[in-house]
Amino acid sequence: MDLKLSPVSMPTTIRPGAGVRPGASGPASGVGGGFAGALQSALGSVSAAQNEASRLQKEVQMENPKVSLEETMVAIQKAQIGFQASLHVRNRMVQAYTDIMNMQV
């Protein structure tokens, strides 16, 4: 699970009305486009880690000799840490949105 974020460059000029609208095609609307792409990629890797941990857990419950308990526990811990990290990011984003909405104009 790789959660490294690449640096994002800010534009030198900001044009009025240049924001990203839902359904618009722009650099931030797809995978690989700035923060949205990094977030989508990170959530995808967290989901994959959770699916892998669930699969290993089922294999251990079915007493598959090829799957070790140690490997399963490590996969479960990785999935849990990834989920907690994404939960913290979500909480910070909600707090930032709330702070911005409560600013006096």
Full DSSP string of the chain: --------PPPS---TT-SPPTT--STTTSTTSHHHHHHHHHHHHHHHHHHHHHHHHHHHHTT-TTS-HHHHHHHHHHHHHHHHHHHHHHHHHHHHHHHHHTS--
pLDDT in tens, 70-104: 999 999 999 999 999 999 999 999 999 999 999 98
pTM of structure: 0.62
Q: How confident is the model at residue 10 (pLDDT cuts 50, 70, 90)?
A: very low
